[in-house]
Amino acid sequence: MRKTTIAAFAVALAGVAAGCGNAEDTAEDTTPGSSQEAEGGDAEGSGEHGDAGELMTRMNEAMMAEGTVTLSYEGEAAGASISGEGVMEYQDGGAVDSSTSMDVPDSPSPVRSVQVGQIMYLNLGQEFEPGKSWLKIDPNEEAAGAGAMFQMLGQQAAASGNPMAMLQEAEDALSIVDSAEEEVNGQQATRYTVSLDVARAGELVQDEMQAQAMQMLAQQGVDTIEQQIWLNDADLPVQVVLDQEIPGAEDQATTTIVTYSGWGEPVDITVPAEEETVSANDLEVPSGAPTG
């Protein structure tokens, strides 16, 4: 049904934006800049552009140290455009709390989401019950029907909370294939093109859903994945460009550009009042209705 389709768009893009992009995406260089090849390291397991595992560690530590960030993003999935903005707050242990607002297809108003811990709240621009416009998704509750579907989306969002942490787990499957000094969004930054061995990543990542996603991509013929990450001189992301294509399914291609700003500045992440929420487990899917 339409509500779940909109929610899927929202959760997918929120997951990408939470870190430096979901590792299931490939990169595309769409930002012009004067390229001057950056010097790389020659340590064991690294290429001429440096060691990918060491890069992930530096970046993760810098992000966690700053704690908060504001971001904007735009993307296209299967020909449909998505754009939005949000804020993130990184917690101990790598979890990420967030508040986002997105313009997505088929929705007359922005789709808003709040993620705190494993609990996700979605506002699809309509009331589920009188006075209740927020849907609460708790992945720890037993659910069926529509509740199970939204619960799966919540689990995906929680798993995607810090994709950079996942990439750090899979550092043995990573390599830096290119790097260059460029100007992006008015800042000097280093662009790193990072390649991920999909099958190897599926063996290394600890989260079950992320591992399954890697394994599914490998089965679909995706051998490697690339994403481009622009870092400033403090090792903080400035921009990420992602582009994913599945062999034989060109109409399912996705492109996402995420821009980061305001690292370390205060952010507002407010959980909706209980009287404004309804549990996803209370929703019913009409007989014969589509669920995607």
What's the average pLDDT block by block, 10 residues per block, for the chain (292 residues)? 42 42 34 37 52 86 94 81 90 83 82 88 88 87 64 59 60 89 94 89 78 82 86 95 71 80 96 92 51 40
Q: What is the helix, strand, coil percentage profile of the chain, to 5?
A: 30, 35, 35
Residue 124: its pLDDT value, please? Answer: 84
For residue 1, the model assigns a pLDDT of: 39
277-279 and 134-137 as β-strands: parallel, antiparallel, unpaired? Answer: parallel
Domain 2-282 belongs to what architecture?
Answer: Clam (2.50)
Cross-strand partners of 97: 89
The pTM assigned to this predicted structure is 0.76
The span from the CA of 6 to the CA of 9, in Å, is 5
Is residue 258 within 8 A of residue 78, CB to CB? The reply is no
